[in-house]
Amino acid sequence: MMALTHAIISTAGISLILTTNDPIHLALAIAGSQLPDLDTSTSTIGQIIFPISNWIENRYPHRSITHSLIATVAIAILASPLYFYIDWKTWLCLPLGHLISCFSDVFTKQGVQLFWPHPAWCISVSNPNRRLQTGGTGEYWVLAIAAAVLIAAINLSGTGGPTALVGTSLGLRSNAIETYQQSSASNHIYANVTGTFAADSAAADGKYFVIANEGNEFVVINKQGIFKTGTNVITSRLTAEVGKPAAASVQTLEFDEAEFAIAPIPDTLIFVTGTLTVDEPDSIRIIANPKQLEIAKLIGDKITFNYCPLETAIKLLSGQYITGSLEAKIFSPTPDL
């Protein structure tokens, strides 16, 4: 097969199997797909690394040692630092790209010695006329189909893969939670909700930004306020949608009889959670909305915040000297509400 065909088939396979569209993963798949043809100096990779390909070519037949399962295992071992220093997916792309490339050559006229050093040749079709010929019409059809599969796989992996696509279509809660857990550190996550408000049974359908995941429920926000699914919003259907790239981080804020002197950060959305002791509780006025999550609660001289927007906390604690700690969840840039 042509180098391009091997590259497209392997990247399509990697994208489907690992549900990835990561450029590094696809690049490693391409690299792995070219390694079998290191046994001939006329191949693309053979010309690039001529000394190595020439050495192998003079000692082993084409489509033997470099097209074998032993070669795949050797590549997996040599690539093992990727497993320890990056992750298992990145490591697997190189040997799996090689294996897929070797397997695709089984459908060619010559076949491959997949079980080298055993001399048997693995060929998929007994009739030679039905096998693929390098550069032939049949290979170009395979190339076109593989390219279409690759495009579909890349788009599908962006939704989390086939399982996630089915889960999203059915509105499965577990799929929404999985999407949040996988992508919330690097992207804004939105919840598409179909349901009603628990307080008055009014329709709560709409798109909400997800602040946090608590068990099987989400804490969400839109222009109307902050809500928790299962408590403030009763959902009949909930799906998660991955938004723009963003950073989400958590910081701990400590106070020891200090004034609450924290200013908002431009283009950043911050929510605080925790309990503080205040010196003048009588001056604090909290207006609660029964339809929404209780984001601030005052009992005696202690005020408890629960995903309270920083701007609201600043207003409530203006002029107060406080003791305690808060956990600040920070989203940057500010999501669309």
196-212 pLDDT per residue, tens: 999 999 999 999 999 99
Q: Is the pLDDT of residue 100 over 90?
A: yes
What confidence tens digit (pLDDT) does each residue in 32-83 have? 999 998 888 888 888 998 999 889 989 988 888 998 999 999 999 999 999 9
List the beta strands (DSSP E) in the chain.
187-197, 206-214, 217-222, 225-228, 233-245, 247-259, 269-278, 296-299, 302-309, 321-332
User: Buried (b) or exposed (e) across 197-229, using 16+ Cβ within 10 A?
Assistant: bbeeeeebebebbbbbbeeebbbbbbeeebbbb
User: Buried (b) or exposed (e) across 100-124, using 16+ Cβ within 10 A?
Assistant: bbbbbbbbbebbbbbebeeeeebbe
Closest CA to 38 of 28, 24, 52: 52
Between residues 326 and 337, the one the model is more confident about: 326
pLDDT of residue 162: 56
Q: How confident is the model at residue 172 (pLDDT cuts 50, 70, 90)?
A: low
Distance CA 107, CA 97 (A): 17
Mean pLDDT, rounded, for 88-100:
92
Closest CA to 70 of 122, 121, 114: 114
299 Cβ neighbours under 8 A, 6+ residues apart = none
pLDDT of residue 307: 96
Q: Is the pLDDT of residue 166 over 60?
A: no
Pairing of strands 296-299, 233-245: unpaired
List the beta strands (DSSP E) in 14-121.
none
Q: Which residue has the tokens 């839109």?
A: 222
Distance CA 98, CA 91 (A): 12
